[in-house]
Amino acid sequence: MSQPFIGEIKQVGYTFAPVDWAECNGQLITISDNAALFSLLGDAYGGDARTVFGIPSLKGRVPIHMGNYAETDFATTYTRGQIGGQEYVTLTLAQMPAHTHNFNAVNEAGDTPVPYSNQSGVGNTMAVANASYYTNALPDVALVADMISYAGGGQSHYNIQPSIGTLFVIALEGLYPSRN
């Protein structure tokens, strides 16, 4: 294998960083022991830039090319070391697509006062039973609360794209990259 550039990041299919490489796990390392790498990374990935600096953390992250993405619908610029995205997302009502929740009812005798219940999972239609739920007669009777489904519950959902676990490593030693 050819000698890597210092700071080169590779993805490997095994569970350890080889000699002269480190896992891309966001750890802080000393500047005095890794001066060449610090000269390339600086404190873009953390650290105090006096005694320690950070290695990029790619744990649970998807790398994205830094630069300006003006040609996309969501024009933005990604800087080196910038973190974005969320593992869990809670949608607001404004983010939900317009949709309806159907309500089915029949004008036939039912065999129970509440023929449908979210808790029991039985049936999907409200029917007239011993007591009438829909009528124009007084007194008004409120609809049973679990007859219409809720619009969310405030819980977040997992937001990670399909992925496979591998290890990202960064070269601590090697050739110092020269600029073109």
Asked if residue 29 has pLDDT above 80, the reply is: yes
Cα dist from 16 to 13, 31, 170, whole Å? 9, 23, 12
DSSP state, 71? Answer: T
Asked if residue 143 has pLDDT above 80, the reply is: no
Query: Tens digit of pLDDT for each residue in 124-141?
Result: 455 544 444 455 566 666
Query: Tens digit of pLDDT for each residue in 161-175?
Result: 888 899 999 999 999
For the chain, give every domain's residue range.
1-96+160-180, 100-150
> Which conformational region is residue 104 in: left (phi greater than 0), alpha (psi within -120 to 50 degrees), or beta?
beta
Let me know: does 67 contact 78? Beta carbons within 8 Å: yes
Residue 57 — very low, low, confident or very high, per pLDDT cuts 50/70/90?
A: very high
> Which conformational region is residue 35 in: left (phi greater than 0), alpha (psi within -120 to 50 degrees), or beta?
alpha
pTM, to two decimals: 0.66
Let me know: does 160 contact 131? Beta carbons within 8 Å: no
19-23, 138-142, 154-158 — most confident range? 19-23
